[in-house]
Amino acid sequence: RFYCEGGDLLDFIIRHPEGKLDDINTLDIIIQILSALDYLHNQIRICHRDIKPDNFLITVNEQNRPIVKLIDFGFAHYISRNVKLKGRIGTIMYMAPEIIMEKPYDEKVDLWSAGVILFNLVTGCEPFSQSYEQFKKIEMQILNKPINFDKINNNGLRNLCQEMMERDPEKRIDARTALEKAKMIKVNLINS
């Protein structure tokens, strides 16, 4: 079935009480996002470059659990191990620091963006100012502002988000490792 009755992920978040999701729903969604990124990065070797809630459509399965579908590959680019990408591409609020600094980058820019989504899912707020009219202010916050990860109550989710939003791309977690960690956090949460 192709119709996504839930709208996009941004609408899905806004419709929830307090504008955020519980840890289990957050993990269900972030695991699917990371699965998509793992597939893109490691199987077909594509960097999406515009990961944001608006680019995930929502449908539900038979158990009424959210299913996310990644869309809009307009900025996507093939990647290779020894060649970095260039270009200021994406949506400012989800743009990785290396894109803002106009440095060559790789697929880990998608992990930064997914980390911003994770932060938003679990806290109900953005890690940076939402003043879209002041792009330079947002850019400076992305580059320099300490991110208040303490807003994330679950230790596992907090650590995962920190690893995804690591400003140094060489230290930033990759999609496959992030996916495995997210699955383990979910198992631990269910068993606690």
Q: With contact defined as beta carbons under 8 Å apart, do 87 and 74 qualify?
A: no
- Token code pair at residue 24: 């289990």
- Of the residues 50, 106, 110, 174, only one is catalytic, namely 50
CA 176 to chain CA mean position, Å: 14
Q: At what angle do helices 155-164 and 108-123 cross, to 10 degrees?
A: 150
Q: How many CA atoms within 13 Å lie on the side-chain side of 77?
A: 19
- Token code pair at residue 169: 């791309």
Q: With contact defined as beta carbons under 8 Å apart, do 158 and 127 qualify?
A: no
- For tokens 């993990």, the residue is 27
Active site residue 168: no
Q: What residues are labeled active site? A: 50
